[in-house]
């Protein structure tokens, strides 16, 4: 990435926002939103940091009424490290790392094209108390998130853990609580291993009366496969969730990972208590993790959070602590 690319992209963003502000809302809408996270933490290697515990992004999204029940949609989302202002993973990630899609939405569902989360990562966050991303406390992040990558080489030759580039994404309307989603790409990658196949994923979701379920399966261009099962319900004032992930790498000696995670969260006034843990069995080794979090909401958009993690890999026990501040706009 050239040093001028982020500057050019931000100039374009500002130009589009300024132009969109003058367009009637009945014809088109442009919205600037984001999630900013910064904190102090000590990681599992006992190194202290000032940085992002969860994620920080700035997004530009909008839609236009094309009449006849059809709407055009778009989303551009940039991930950044708030402590330095740098692109998240600048050495390998594109500027619009989080999402870059344009699509059509109608009675038959939504179809998008570009770069976005595949069907597993677009849905599995709902079954982890920390939405699958917290460097200190999230069991999903510690145990299964990195076991399967959506593409081995799409980020300038580096693996992409969650997003599919050159992708096509479909989200169906809800029918009696059921939804169907698909993600894939017609493009092959001859350098990705496994013969350079197509990426393809399907997800079936269900939501009704406080209960939620998900069954998703995906295959990347290298032939690696991942299956995720998630369940969530609300009972006695607590949200309970369970996730099971089974990954398999298409190598000469296939590497498999099986992770089971459990989580719970309870909100009382401005306070939210989170607890999660699980176990990963990968090849001949096993890891266990326990995460604890306590959030205080100054408002619906600004939250102070404490995170703690206890990781027991095959070699030694590790601990991590963090205190962060997040603001959503």
79-112 pLDDT, tens digit per residue, is 999 999 999 888 889 999 999 999 999 999 999 9
> What pLDDT score was predicted for residue 329?
95
Q: How confident is the model at residue 148 (pLDDT cuts 50, 70, 90)?
A: very high
Please determine, for residue 210, whether its predicted confidence score (pLDDT) is greater than 90.
Answer: no
Q: Tell me the average pLDDT of the chain.
A: 89
Average pLDDT over residues 28-54: 92
More confident residue, 327 or 285: 327
What predicted TM-score, i.e. pTM, was given to this entire model? 0.87
Q: Which of 17-31, 280-294, 315-329 has the lowest mean pLDDT?
A: 17-31
pLDDT confidence of 196, banded at 50, 70, 90? Answer: low
Distance of CA 245 to the CA centre of its chain: 15
Q: Dihedral sign, CA of 77, 117, 65, 176? A: negative
pLDDT classification of 171: cutoffs 50, 70, 90: very high
For the record, the structure tokens of 232 come out as 């969530």
Residue with tokens 């809408």: 29
Residue 195 binned pLDDT confidence (cut-offs 50, 70, 90): low
Percent of the chain beyond pLDDT 90? Answer: 73
pLDDT band (50, 70, 90) for residue 157:
confident
Residue 181 has pLDDT above 90, yes or no: yes
* pLDDT mean over 160-180: 96
Residue 269 to residue 311: CA distance in whole angstroms: 30
Tell me the domain boundaries of the chain: 33-52+118-328
pLDDT at position 138 is: 97
d(CA 214, CA 251): 28
Neighbours of 4 (CB within 10 A): 9
Backbone angles phi, psi at 43, to 5 degrees: -80, -175
pLDDT of residue 92: 87
Picking from 160, 159, 134, 158, the residue whose alpha carbon sits closest to that of residue 44 is 134
Domain 33-52+118-328: which CATH number of 1.10.10.10, 2.40.160.10, 3.40.640.10, 2.60.40.1180: 2.40.160.10
Q: What is the pLDDT of residues 243-278, one digit of tens each?
A: 999 999 887 666 899 999 999 999 999 999 999 999
Q: Look at 48-52, 142-146, 178-182, 310-314 and tell me which has the smallest mean pLDDT.
A: 310-314
């Amino acid at each position: 990435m050239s040093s001028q690319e982020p500057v050019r992209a931000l100039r374009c963003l500002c130009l589009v926002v300024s132009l969109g502000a003058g367009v009637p809302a009945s014809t088109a809408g442009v919205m600037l939103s984001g999630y900013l996270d910064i904190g102090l933490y000590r990681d599992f290697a006992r190194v202290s940091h000032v940085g992002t515990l969860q994620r920080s992004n700035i997004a530009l999204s909008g839609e236009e009424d094309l009449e006849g029940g059809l709407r055009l949609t778009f989303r551009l989302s940039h991930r950044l490290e708030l402590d330095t202002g740098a692109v998240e993973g600048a050495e390998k990630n594109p500027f619009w790392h989080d999402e870059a899609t344009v699509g059509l939405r109608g009675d038959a569902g939504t179809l998008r094209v570009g770069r976005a989360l595949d069907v597993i990562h677009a849905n599995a966050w709902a079954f982890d108390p920390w939405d699958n991303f917290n460097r200190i406390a999230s069991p999903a992040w510690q145990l299964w998130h990195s076991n399967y990558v959506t593409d081995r080489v799409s980020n300038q030759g580096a693996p992409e853990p969650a997003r599919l580039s050159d992708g096509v994404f479909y989200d169906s309307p809800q029918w009696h609580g059921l939804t169907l989603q698909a993600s894939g790409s017609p493009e092959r990658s001859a350098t990705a291993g496994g013969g350079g196949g197509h990426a393809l994923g399907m997800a079936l979701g269900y939501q009704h009366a406080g209960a939620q379920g998900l069954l998703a399966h995906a295959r990347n261009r290298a032939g690696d496969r991942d299956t995720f099962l998630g369940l969530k319900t609300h009972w006695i004032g607590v949200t309970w969730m369970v996730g099971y992930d089974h990954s398999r790498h298409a190598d000469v000696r296939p590497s498999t990972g099986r992770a089971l995670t459990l989580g719970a969260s309870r909100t009382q006034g401005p306070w939210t208590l989170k607890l999660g843990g699980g176990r990963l069995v990968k090849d001949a080794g096993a890891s266990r993790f326990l995460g604890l979090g306590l959030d205080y909401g100054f408002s619906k958009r600004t939250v102070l959070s404490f995170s703690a993690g206890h990781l027991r890999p095959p070699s030694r026990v590790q601990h991590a602590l963090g205190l962060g501040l997040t603001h959503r706009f």
